[in-house]
Amino acid sequence: MQRKSILIGSLYFLLFSFLFFLFSYFFVSNDDSPSGWGAQDKIALIRVEGVITDSRKIIQELRRYRKDPNIKAILIRVDSPGGAVAPSQEIYDELIDIQKEGVTKVITSMGTVAASGGYYIASATDLIFANPGTLTGSIGVIMELTNVEGLLQKIGIEGITIKSGENKDVGSPFRKMTTRERALLQSVLDDVHGQFIEAVAQGRSLEIETVRKLADGRIFTGRQAMAVGLVDEMGSLQAAIEKLAEMVGIEGEPHIVETKEKTPLLEFLEARFWGSIQNTKLPISSIGMHYLFSF
């Protein structure tokens, strides 16, 4: 009798967990608009916050919203100092594809900071809003390395490197960098910097030489950025929402859709019942890659 009660209780728990997962997945994690599924003329809000290290989540949101007929426009809220090069470029490319498609309007609202990789992403949208005191720009690339050779000699430690190619240990912290190696790394950074300049010129419809003059790594306030053509309008997040609604012909207060972060319980249930939905990947380390350049 007791075993039967435990079994029934377990079944009820599993059923409750499953129903809770469905409720959370469809009503909590995807849409916080007050009118739920039936709402029309929505604006999707996507946040790019903190250091940019991965593009997957942002690209998934962009693709989901651009396919939703109820989403009339997308607002990117950038509050980021930049980050890794490749993820910034991947998000930029996705936004350029949306621009070329010409169906969904996408604009950017800048928060406290939208610099380097954050600006890279913003430049691919139809319009950029910034606050007067927003810090933006920083169109440049940086690589920072450390040489601990002197410290190791003082404490009696010798760094030993075994390599398969002449340039495999370029940037090694165990020895001084040669002039040739510095030139090699500089050529890599110059190429990525050129890609950054070309991307901004394309996204902002500016001449490459115009962008190049501004692309020395300096930062601008929002007001300064507007004066040199890197930003279109001054205004808050709400001002950007109102402008975007006007651009796509939404009358009255638009419904704002924003993907919520999943709770640990929801993530557990999703993995339990819909593990195949999530394509979780393990981080992969590159042997010998001990330096990183970033926007």
What is the C-alpha separation between 273 and 188, in angstroms, rounded?
Answer: 46
Q: What predicted TM-score, i.e. pTM, was given to this entire model?
A: 0.76
What pLDDT is attached to residue 1?
55
- pLDDT of 270: 45
Predicted pLDDT at 34: 37
Query: Could you say which DSSP state residue 174 is in?
Result: T
Burial annotation 271-281 (CB, 10 A radius, 16+ → b, else e): eeeeeeeeeee
pLDDT tens track for 153-192? 899 998 888 889 988 888 888 889 999 999 999 999 999 9
Burial (CB count within 10 angstroms: exposed 0-12, middle 13-18, buried 19+), residue 55: buried
* pLDDT at residue 7, rounded to an integer: 54
What pLDDT does 280 receive?
37
| pLDDT of amino acid 294 | 72
Greater pLDDT, 30 or 10: 10
- Give yes or no: 176 in active site: no
Q: What is the pLDDT of residue 141?
A: 93
Q: Could you say which of 24, 109, 116, 138 is catalytic?
A: 116
Least confident segment among 10-24, 66-80, 147-161: 10-24
Q: What is the pLDDT of residues 5-20, one digit of tens each?
A: 555 555 555 655 555 5
Instruction: Write out the DSSP string of 109-141.
Output: EEEEEEETHHHHHHTTSSEEEE-TT-EEE----
Higher pLDDT, 212 or 152: 212
pLDDT at 267 over 80: no
Tell me if residue 100 is catalytic: no
pLDDT tens digits along 247-264 = 999 988 889 999 876 545
Helix-helix angle 56-67:85-101, to 10 degrees: 10
Q: What is the pLDDT of residues 82-137, one digit of tens each?
A: 999 999 999 999 999 999 988 899 999 999 999 999 999 999 999 999 999 999 99
Confidence (pLDDT) at 187: 95
User: What are the residue ranges of helices labelled H in the chain?
Assistant: 2-23, 56-67, 85-101, 117-122, 149-155, 179-204, 208-214, 222-227, 237-247, 264-274
pLDDT-above-70 percentage for the chain: 75
* Given the residues 168, 176, 213, 260, the one annotated as active site: 168
Tokens of 252: 């009255």
Separation of CA 223 from chain center: 24
Residue 32 has pLDDT above 50, yes or no: no
Q: Which pLDDT value is given to residue 102?
A: 87
**What's the rounded Cα separation, in Å, for the pair 76 and 108?**
5
